Structure 1
Amino acid sequence: MDASILAYILNDDSDDEFDNIHQLPHRRPRIIRKRINWYYIYDNIDFQRRFRLLKHHVLMVLERIERKISYRTKNNEPIPPLIQILVTLRFVATGSFFICVADFCGISKQSAQSIVHKVLIAIAEESKDFIKFPCETNDLLRMQLENFNLSGFIRVIGAIDCFHVRIRSYGGEDAEIYRNRKGFFSINVQAIVNSRLELLDLVARWPGSTHDVTIFDNSRIKSRFESGEFENGLLLGDSGYACMPYLLTPLQNVNTPSEILYNESQIRTRTMVERCFGILGKMFPILTTGSRFWTPTRTMTLITACGVLYNISRLSTTRDVISNERLL
């Protein structure tokens, strides 16, 4: 090729590739942030206000799930399991965006998103040890006595009710089954609570349009009561449930003093489940402000994990722990 022609081609300004070379996107520089371990910065009170659990509760969670969330990498230093747990606790305690949680702990948004999903699964898998019905006779008698001392209702093990966890629409053909009677999308969660406001049973897999009775009829706990596993133990429910030998509801038309006394005692005892829902919602606002996950499975995992964390927070005695009610 002639040298003059080659020079003309190389100096030709009409080539778009060379004209727009200054407009090509450049990779943004990677910013390495300092990871902050708030466990060693706050005292027990300030730590609980921000992460909802006391420090020794966090260590308990760490001991149980550390093996599941630990990982190794050849490129850089991995995020320690303790910081992973704090990121997850901050996420459920604020209901904020992943980027806000990431900035709070000094990690990237992508890392925060991956960590939250992984840690929530690990915590939810511990539900079999932290959310369970007592089966021993002595435990059943103790719970019945505690409920009797509360408002004079005999043989009561716990109170049952449902609450709605707000979600975003998942789209698709089945999107509307998640719209509840109040008009927003949700998952209907069934819970049974004892006098200590501990969760004894949690069912978080039904769309918001499902009736409370349908959830109970298809739950494992109903078959356990019908088989006599809990002896003479009773559940208390609101008027939305059908009255059964093991599930007592308020009387609709009261005429005698005995019926009035029954309703008063039944309602006073049943309020423990409402109190539990109130504390649970304030403790983990993500359950009330709404989950932004795109799949039902992740939202159900979130609800179960919050139930486990809630029961862990109830393990402490009032002598050495400031109660969640006062902190919230």
Structure 2
Amino acid sequence: MQRLRRIIYESDSDDDSENENYAVRRPRWIKERNDHFNNYDDEDFRIRFRLSKVATYNLLVKIENRLEFISERNQSVSPVNQLLATLRFYATNNTQLTIGDFSGLSVPTAHRIIHRVSAAIASLHHEYIKFPNTQQEIRQNQQEFYRLARFPRVIGAMDCTHIRISSPGGEQAELFRNRKGYFSINVQTICNANLEIIDIVARWPGSAHDSLIFNNCCRKAKFEAGEYGEGILLVDGGYAATFYSMPPLENPRTPVEHLYNESQIRTRNPVERSYGVWKRRFPALSLGLRVKLNKALVIIMATAVLHNILRQRGEAVPPDDPEVELPAPWEVLLQNGQIRYENEDSGTPRGNRARELLINNYFRNLM
């Protein structure tokens, strides 16, 4: 009986083995990694990676210790190749498969490296994104702004810009759809006269109004507490007039009011220009970040750090990569008059009074 059972079992096993499809494991393929740093001259390098070789090397020195692997086992990716893969992602917003093919990486490795390097660059924000705090720094900013159009006491120019993202999903996804109909992060920045970002708030959904973001940020609380003395922020018509924030007049009538508006607009122009330079240098911000929401916030911060590094070095925006087709940016539409801000708040009485005193006591003397 036991022998019969064994014969039947062996027969069934043979039939199963003939019909069973075994999964064949794919052989491991180590892609060839090109030496992009040395293969391109400096001009071609800047077009493809948006930084010069010198700036890339200096940045690598600062974050290399966070990118090194413990050993060279399993063909570990060198820090310079990690950095170049990430910069190429910022420059093209290509899929991680394309970035992997360009850099000789698998898709999972490209994914991990892009976010790893982004976090390393973003960690430098305390060093490169700094609001003036000392009297000397505040005075220097005021002098640089004054040279633009003779507007006094200006510490910074403030505005918001929308960074495209893919739908974050979930019940709160529609909060990120802005008034132009696409999903975005509404990013508030304050810049200096050199177009450097000296303060950034990158966490609000696209539906949030600019004034709402400012009303809930710590920078406003510091201005309210008088930490910056008589320093002024220049803003657009979407913000309220206060003793420290000066928007343009909605309906100027007298010559002195027109002079105030002209000086205000010209002095506030750097913040608009900074968005154009920032997004032109890193097209991923214009094309739309196709990553998870928390990862997108890190990338926004990382590119802001890179923007400041390059502004401090005096590097011009490199020519556009012919492989990347950029949409018309929000700032171009704004400058062409195709978009109008809605002034939700005409200002506080104290703020309107402060603006009137500035117009009557200062700009009237310039006539």
TM-score (structure 2 length as normaliser): 0.81
Match of 1:298 in 2: 295
SS of the equivalent of 1:235 reads: strand
Matched, 1:193 2:191: yes
Match of 2:317 in 1: 324
Match of 2:147 in 1: 149
Match of 1:78 in 2: 76
SS of the equivalent of 1:162 reads: strand
Q: CA deviation at 1:8?
A: 9.3
Q: CA deviation at 1:186?
A: 1.0
Q: Give the one of 300, 305, 311 matched to 1:308.
A: 305
In the alignment, residue 264 of structure 1 is paired with which amino acid?
E
Q: Give the one of 1, 9, 20 matched to 2:11.
A: 9
Match of 2:19 in 1: 19
TM-score (structure 1 length as normaliser): 0.91
Q: CA deviation at 1:227?
A: 2.1
Q: Give the one of 170, 192, 202 matched to 2:168.
A: 170
Could you say what the CA RMSD is over the residues aligned between the two structures, in angstroms? 2.2
SS of the equivalent of 2:155 reads: strand
Match of 1:128 in 2: 126
Aligned partners of 2:47 and 2:318 also within 8 Å = no
Match of 1:212 in 2: 210
Provide the rounded CA distance (Å) in 1 between the counterparts of 2:302 and 2:79. 17
Match of 1:109 in 2: 107
Identity of aligned residues (%): 44
> For each residue in 1:248-287, what CA deviation from the matched residue of structure 2 results, as whole angstroms up to 9, or x when unmatched?
0011121110001111111111121111111111111111
SS of the equivalent of 1:196 reads: coil
Aligned partners of 2:191 and 2:197 also within 8 Å = yes
Provide the rounded CA distance (Å) in 2 between the counterparts of 1:176 and 1:257. 45
In the alignment, residue 309 of structure 1 is paired with which amino acid?
L
The number of aligned residues is 319
> For each residue in 1:138-173, what CA deviation from the matched residue of structure 2 results, as whole angstroms up to 9, or x when unmatched?
222222122111122111122110011111112112
Q: Give the one of 255, 267, 281 matched to 2:279.
A: 281
Aligned partners of 2:193 and 2:270 also within 8 Å = yes
Provide the rounded CA distance (Å) in 1 between the counterparts of 2:253 and 2:94. 51
Q: Give the one of 87, 95, 98 matched to 1:100.
A: 98
Provide the rounded CA distance (Å) in 2 between the counterparts of 1:272 and 1:247. 16
Q: Give the one of 250, 270, 273 matched to 1:252.
A: 250
Gap change, CA 1:7 and 1:144, over 3 Å in 2: closer
Aligned partners of 2:47 and 2:319 also within 8 Å = no
Provide the rounded CA distance (Å) in 1 between the counterparts of 2:8 and 2:185. 69
> For each residue in 1:107-148, what CA deviation from the matched residue of structure 2 results, as whole angstroms up to 9, or x when unmatched?
211111110111111111111111111222222222212211
SS of the equivalent of 1:315 reads: helix
SS of the equivalent of 1:250 reads: coil
Range that drifts further, 92-101 or 49-58? 49-58
